[in-house]
Amino acid sequence: MRLAELSERSGLPTATIKYYLREQLLPPGVLVSAKQADYGEEHLRRLRLVRALIQIGRMPIATAREVLTAIDDESLDQNDRLGMAVGALPPGPTQPDQDDRATAAARREADLLLDSLGWTNCEDASSGPYRALVTALAALAALGYPHDLDHLVPYAHQATRLAAHDLDMVQEYESPSEQIEAAVALTVLYEPILLSLRRLAHARESTLRHGTRTTGRSTA
C-alpha cells in the first residue's frame, strides 16, 4: 500500500507517519521510485503499536525507540527480548535514593518479599519495576501504612495469576516478533484497565460493607 492508504487504514495523518519514519519508530517502506515507497501489513501493525506506546502509554519517543529496538533484536532469546521490551516501559525512570536509610530498609523488605515468593531472578536493582517497588515501600513506611509480608503477599499472588493470563494471551500470536509486540501493547493497554477495575471493585466493596454509596449529586 502507498502512504496515503497506510494513513487511512491506521487513522494517523501522513505527517505523523513521516515523523515516525524519521525517528526510526517505523521501518522504511520498499522504494518503488525516488519519491514513493510501498508499505505492508507489518507497517500497519507497527503503527498500531507505536500509537499505543506514545499516545496511550504516553511514552517518550526515545523510550519508544528503545522498546522497539528490543522487539526487533533477533539475536536475543525470547525471554531476553520480552524482558528488555517490557522492562523499558514506565515506571522505569523511578530511582530510589541510594543513601537514604529508609530506602535501604525498603530494599531489604523488597528482597525479603521476592525471596519468600521464590522470585530470585527479579532482584535486579537496576530494573524499573524493582526500583518502583522499593520507592513505594519506602513511601508506605514513611507514612506509617502496612508494608509487611502479610499485606504484600496477597498482591503478589494476584500478580502471579495475572502474569500467567497475560502470557497465555501473548502466546496466541504465532511469530516471536508478534509475541513481543503483543506483550508490550497489552502491558500498556491493560494496565489502565487493571487500575480502573481495582477502583471500581473498591467502590463495589465499599457499598457492600457500608451501604448505599451517595454520588454527591442533587436529586432536585
3-state secondary structure of 69: helix
DSSP letter at 213?
P
- For residues 214 and 12, give the distance between their C-alpha atoms in angstroms, rounded to a whole number: 42
C-alpha cell of residue 170: 501473548
User: pLDDT tier at 77 (50, 70, 90 boundaries)?
Assistant: confident
Q: Where are the beta strands (DSSP E) in the chain?
A: 30-31, 37-38
Segments in 73-148 forming alpha helices (H): 78-87, 101-117, 128-143
3-state secondary structure of 38: strand
pLDDT tens for each residue of 40-56? 998 998 898 888 888 77
Q: Can you name the residues that pair with 38 across neighbouring β-strands?
A: 30
Residue 177 parent element (H or E): helix 176-210
Give the Å distances, CA to CA, from 28 to 2, 5, 92. Answer: 12, 15, 29
pLDDT tens for each residue of 116-136? 999 877 767 777 788 888 888
**Conformation bin of residue 211: beta by default, left when phi > 0, alpha when psi is -120 to 50:** left
Q: What's the predicted TM-score (pTM) here?
A: 0.69
| pLDDT for residue 97 | 58
- For residues 170 and 161, give the distance between their C-alpha atoms in angstroms, rounded to a whole number: 14
| pLDDT for residue 219 | 44
pLDDT over threshold 70, residue 89: yes
